[in-house]
């Protein structure tokens, strides 16, 4: 499962897995429900079942996305399973090479969406030419992007520049690696959400997993500067 609660206007900014506030008991119940939904719909491909979870650990079905999602990368890093490859094999009529009871979690993974937006100015769009684009690297750092120095971010489409995926042995370790990688990520020519992510990695409520879907919007409404 993935936690995608750090959002602005219902647009995801940070995703992580395992979800930090989900118990093993609740995880098993949600997994069973998701599998039953897919079976009832006779669904046969990659897909994501989305639930809302309240403070009493009750969960509610919201929707099923019948496709690969942006944040599939953190599931891949956590389990070691190439979901895109698996989806293609299923479409070809081939069987999966793994079973549900053989899927295991290994560590903790974050995805940070690096968008061409200005967090210090209410996340205003920042299209333009990337004067410098110097991505981070190193162990347990994955970057999904098609950008380079000189690339032009158009004003017409999605503002995403890159997806920065970080894996650690646990949540604390992943946050430590993420801080280093974000500080090494240099973008000039447009504004980006890098400073927002660095702010969140120092935020007490984020560090304690004490937030909900409205947390970022609440910070903005209070005049918080990232």
Give the three-class secondary structure for 128.
Answer: strand
Would residue 171 show up in a list of annotated catalytic residues for this protein? Answer: no
Nearest Cα to Cα of residue 101 among 71, 79, 134: 79
Residue 64: φ, ψ to 5°:
-120, 125
Question: Cα dist. 46→21, 67, 86, 89 in Å?
Answer: 25, 6, 8, 11
Q: What is the per-residue burial (b if ≥16 Cβ within 10 Å, else e) of 170-200?
A: ebeebbebbeebbeebebebbbbbbebbbbb
The catalytic position among 2, 8, 27, 67 is 67
Cis amide bond preceding 18, omega within 30: yes
Query: What residues act catalytically?
Result: 67
């Amino acid at each position: 499962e993935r936690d995608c609660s750090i959002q602005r206007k219902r647009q995801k900014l940070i995703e992580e897995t395992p979800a930090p506030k989900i118990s093993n008991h609740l995880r098993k119940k949600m997994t069973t429900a998701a599998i039953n939904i897919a079976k009832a719909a006779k669904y046969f491909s990659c897909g994501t079942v989305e639930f809302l979870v309240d403070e009493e650990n009750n969960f509610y079905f919201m929707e099923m996305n019948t496709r690969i999602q942006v944040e599939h990368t953190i599931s891949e890093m956590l389990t070691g399973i190439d979901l895109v490859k698996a989806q293609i094999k299923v479409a070809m009529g081939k069987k999966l090479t793994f079973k549900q009871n053989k899927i295991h979690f290994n560590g903790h993974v974050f995805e940070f969406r690096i968008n061409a937006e200005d967090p210090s100015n209410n996340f205003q769009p920042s299209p333009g030419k990337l004067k410098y684009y110097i991505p981070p690297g190193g162990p347990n750092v994955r970057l999904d992007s098609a950008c380079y120095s000189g690339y032009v971010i158009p004003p017409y489409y999605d503002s995403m520049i890159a997806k920065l995926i970080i894996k650690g042995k646990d949540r604390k370790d992943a946050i430590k690696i993420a801080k280093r990688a974000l500080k090494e990520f240099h973008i000039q020519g447009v504004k980006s959400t890098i400073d927002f992510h660095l702010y969140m990695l120092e935020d007490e409520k984020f560090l304690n997993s004490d937030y909900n879907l409205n947390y970022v919007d609440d910070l903005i409404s209070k005049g918080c500067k990232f």
